[in-house]
Amino acid sequence: MPNTFAYGALLIWPLVTFAIFAILRPNQAVIWSLLAGYLFLPVKTSFDFPGVPALDKTSIVNLSTFLAAILYTGPRAVRAPQEWWINVLMIGYVASPILTIFGNSDALIYGDLLIPGLKLYDAFSSGAYKAIDLLPLLIGYNLLRTPKGQHEILRAIVIASLGYSLLMLVEIRLSPQLHRWIYGFFPHSFDQQMRGDGFRPVVFLGHGLLVAIFAAISIAAAAYLARMRVRLFGISSWWWLAYLLIVLMLCKSLGALILAVAAAGMTLFMNRKLIRIICASAALIVLTYPALRGSDSIPVQPIADYVAHYSEERAASFQTRIDNEDQLLARANQRPWFGWGGYGRNRVFNEETGKDISITDGMWIIIVGTYGWIGYIFTFGLLCIPIIISSAKKFNYLANSGFVDMLLVINLFDILLNSSLSPLTWLMAGSAVPFIHSARLKRGSFG
């Protein structure tokens, strides 16, 4: 159970956010307030009041940053996007729970387990939380959609990861204990953080895989700084890139390491146009992944068989993931358009005992099962379409947009496998939206 300090950290976070804005420029403060909250606040800790969404790590950080941005920048931070498709997707993302309640008013009974049907209150509560989810996207769109803003994102991620790496190294040596020492409880299964004869660091993110993917994103950002010959703390970013790569190797996450090495290589040695094309292709795969997975176009079983030749432990873990996704996908296809809704209705239970026999890892299967294919399109449309359309010639190529796209693609591929959707993801998506050449651009309206 969370201790008093865990709840206290959530309570004082708005004050910390306003202090950050008082010290830094608004565009920097937005990035650092979201990053610091994501990296250091406790997970699985929230204030649950009747009639309002749960006030947890994500909602408190998003709301605090949003309010501070309005105070320090005025209405500029909250302007509605000019692009019609972004507005349609945002409205659909927030409103999709209303569509889900239709056809889900029935209670589900498995043995002694009773799962209630959905009511209008559930739709409004879920929609309100989804609206809070989108605040970083809106802020990123309005305040960071410039070469300078994108550079600040890339630079801040590297600096934050350098500081965070010290805590990661502590847990690699001593085992994941920081969340328990400071906040009074361990947020996940400890066994899952053991790999070989060592440990994955968890720090304050809830799982070692989330720490590893953040490290992978920071490596791609460090590769950008190295390419631009940026020095941090008087040291060449090439050295920081090498250091972060070593830290990620110690995190013992093969998937994150592969993504990091591939992204760093493309960032260092490819031209911007090719990077945009590759990122757009990757985003298109992510956007259509459920359809590809459902039609067996993604060779997941051959991949599992191939992995078994090198590591039985990793192959067994991957096979378990495949088997669970198959049964959850079959469950989702029973109500494909708008999903099953909350309360675990999307999960698979033993008909006689009521025991939950499913494991939900990938965010894609959670969204498809909960909000259906429509919910998936709204969610991943907001995350993928900015990358896809940025490859069109009519859109302006900002100097750093392709590199932000690269970071976002790393996160998107991981979202297919894990639940790593975070405020940082939405912030990068907002800053990655391209815009058409116009007089507004010449006047510096987005500067």
Encoded tokens for 348: 């698979």
CA distance 177 to 184: 10
Which pLDDT score is estimated for 447?
Answer: 31
CA distance 15 to 196: 42
Query: Which of 380, 384, 367, 369 has the alpha carbon at shortest distance from 419?
Result: 367
Answer yes or no: is pLDDT of 439 > 60.
no
Which pLDDT score is estimated for 293?
Answer: 83
Beta-sheet strands, E only, within 241-306: none
Answer yes or no: is pLDDT of 304 > 90.
no
Position 445 confidence tier, pLDDT thresholds 50, 70, 90: very low
CA distance 219 to 68: 29
CA distance 319 to 308: 10
Which pLDDT score is estimated for 144?
Answer: 94
Q: What are phi and psi of 342, to 5 degrees?
A: -85, -160
DSSP 436: B
Answer yes or no: is pLDDT of 219 > 70.
yes
Share of the chain above pLDDT 70, in %: 92
Answer yes or no: is pLDDT of 436 > 80.
no
Which pLDDT score is estimated for 437?
Answer: 44
Position 443 confidence tier, pLDDT thresholds 50, 70, 90: very low
Read off the pLDDT of each residue in 316-333 and give the average, rounded to a whole number: 83
Answer whether 64's CB lies under 8 Å from 14's CB: yes
Which pLDDT score is estimated for 308?
Answer: 65
